[in-house]
Structure 1
Amino acid sequence: MPYWMKSLLLPFLFIASVQAAPLQKIFTDWQITCNNLNYCVARNITGENGLVMTLSRYAGVNDRPLLRIDYGNRYTGDLKGAALQDNLLLDQKRLRPDFKHWTVEPHHLVTSHPIAIDEFLTQIMDADNIQLTWRPQSTISLHGLKAALLLMDDVQGRVGSLSAWVKRGSRSVWDVPPEPTAPVMRLSERSATPLTREETTGLIDYGTWRVSADECSLDPMRREVSVAPLTDSKALLLVSCEMGAYNMIDLAFEVTRTQPWLSRRLTLSLPFAPPGRNDRLLEIINAEYDAANAQLFTYAKGRGLGDCGIATRWQFNGQEFVLAEYAEEGTCDAWHGSDEWPTLWVSQRPSQP
Structure 2
Amino acid sequence: MSYWTKWLLLISLSSVAAVQAQPLQKTFSDWQITCNNLNSCEVRSIPGNNGLAMTLARDAGNEAPAQLRIDYGNRYSGKLPGGALQDNLLLDGQRLKLDLKHWEVEPHHLLTNHGISIDEFLAQVMDADSIQLLYRADATISLHGLKAALLLMDEVQGRINSTSAWIQRGDRAASNVPPAPALPQINTPLRAPQALTHEESSGLIDFGTWRVNSDSCSLNPLQREVSVSPLSDDKALLLVSCEMGAYNIIDLAFEVSRSQPYISKSITLTLPFSPPERSDNQLELVNADFDAARGELLTFSKGRGLGDCGVATRWQYNGRQFVLAEYAQESTCDAWHSSDQWPMLWESKSAPPQESASVEMQQQ
TM-score by length of 2: 0.93
Matched to 1:325, the amino acid is E
Offset at 1:337?
0.5
5+ long unaligned stretches in structure 2? 358-364
Deviations 1:274-311 (A, max 9, x none): 00000100011000001011010000000000000000
1:41, 1:54 within 8 Å by CA — same for their partners in 2? yes
- In structure 2, relative to structure 1, the CA distance for the partners of 1:9 and 1:334 (3 Å cut) is closer
Match of 2:195 in 1: 194
Aligned to 1:44: 45
1:107 maps to which residue?
A: 108
Distance in structure 1 (CA, Å) of the matches to 2:10 and 2:309: 39
Equivalent residue of 2:17, what SS? helix
1:298 aligns with 2:280: no
Superposition map of 1:100-249 within 5 A: 100-212=101-213, 214-249=215-250
- Superposed CA deviations along residues 50-106 of structure 1, whole A, max 9, x for unmatched, are 000000000001311000000000000000001100000000011011111101100
**Equivalent residue number for residue 84 of structure 2:** 83
- Paired residues of 1:31 and 1:148 also in contact (CA < 8 A): yes
SS in 2 for 1:32: strand
Of 257-266 and 273-282, more deviation after overlay is shown by 257-266
- The superposition leaves residues 26-48 of structure 1 with CA deviations (integer Å, 9 ceiling, x where unpaired) of 00000000000000000010000
**Is this contact kept in 1: 2:253–2:267, CA < 8 A?**
yes
CA distance in 2 between counterparts of 1:29 and 1:346 reads: 26
Kindly state the Cα deviation for residue 207 of structure 1 after the two structures are TM-superposed: 1.6
How far off is 1:156 after superposition?
Answer: 0.2
Aligned to 2:339: 338
CA contact (8 A) 2:21 2:181 kept: no
Residue identity opposite 1:311 in structure 2 = A
C-alpha change, 1:241 and 1:2, in structure 2 (3 Å) is closer
Aligned equivalents of 2:102, 2:119: Cα separation in 1? 12
Q: Who is 1:308 aligned against?
A: 309
Alignment partners' CA distance in 2, 1:210 and 1:158: 54
C-alpha spacing 1:145/1:7, structure 2 compared with 1 (3 Å): closer
Structure 1 residue 11: deviation in Å?
5.0
SS at match of 2:201: helix
Q: Deviations over 1:185-227 (max 9, x none)?
A: 0222343221111101111122223313542222232112211
Native 8 Å contact 1:208 1:221 kept in 2: no
Indicate if the aligned counterparts of 1:153 and 1:165 stay in contact, CA closer than 8 A. yes
Code of the residue aligned with 2:200 in structure 1: it is: E
Tell me, in whole angstroms, the C-alpha distance in 2 between the residues paired with 1:8 and 1:271.
Answer: 27
Distance in 1 of aligned mates of 2:314 and 2:148: 31
SS in 1 for 2:105: strand
Contact 1:241 1:251 in 2 (8 A): yes
Query: Distance between the aligned counterparts of 2:189 and 2:98, measured in 1?
Result: 53
Cα pair 1:209 1:220 within 8 Å, conserved: no
> Equivalent residue for 1:92?
93
Gaps of 5+ in 1: none
Verify the 8 A CA contact 1:86 1:96 in the aligned structure 2: no
Aligned partner of 1:149: which letter? L
Matching residue's letter, 1:61: N
Mapped pair 1:251 → 2:272: no
What residue is the counterpart of 2:272 in the other structure? 271
Code of the residue aligned with 2:240 in structure 1: it is: V
Matched residue SS, 2:153: helix
Q: Secondary structure at the match of 2:57?
A: strand
* Contact 2:205/2:227 (<8 A) preserved: yes
CA distance in 2, matches of 1:254, 1:212: 17
C-alpha separation in 2, matches of 1:5 and 1:74: 47
Q: 2:184 and 2:7 mapped to 1: Cα distance?
A: 28
- Equivalent-residue separation in structure 2 for 1:29 and 1:119 (angstroms): 22
Aligned CA RMSD, in angstroms, stands at 1.8
Alpha-carbon distance between aligned partners in 2 of 1:346 and 1:215, rounded to the nearest angstrom: 34
Conserved? CA contact 2:133–2:139, under 8 Å = yes
Instruction: After superposition, give the CA deviation of every residue in 1:304-333 in whole Å (9 maximum; x if it has no partner).
Output: 000000000001111111101100000000
149-158 vs 222-231, which deviates more?
A: 222-231
Q: Tell me what 2:72 maps to.
A: 71
Distance (Å, rounded) in 2 between the aligned partners of 1:210 and 1:282: 21
Residue of structure 2 in register with 1:28 after alignment: 29
The runs of at least 4 consecutive aligned structure 1 residues that moved more than 4 Å come to: 1-12
2:33 and 2:149 in contact (8 A); partners too: yes
Aligned letter for 1:344? L
Question: How many residues in Structure 1 have an aligned counterpart in Structure 2?
Answer: 353
State which drifts further: 214-223 or 86-95.
214-223
CA–CA distance in structure 2, aligned partners of residues 285 and 66 of structure 1: 33
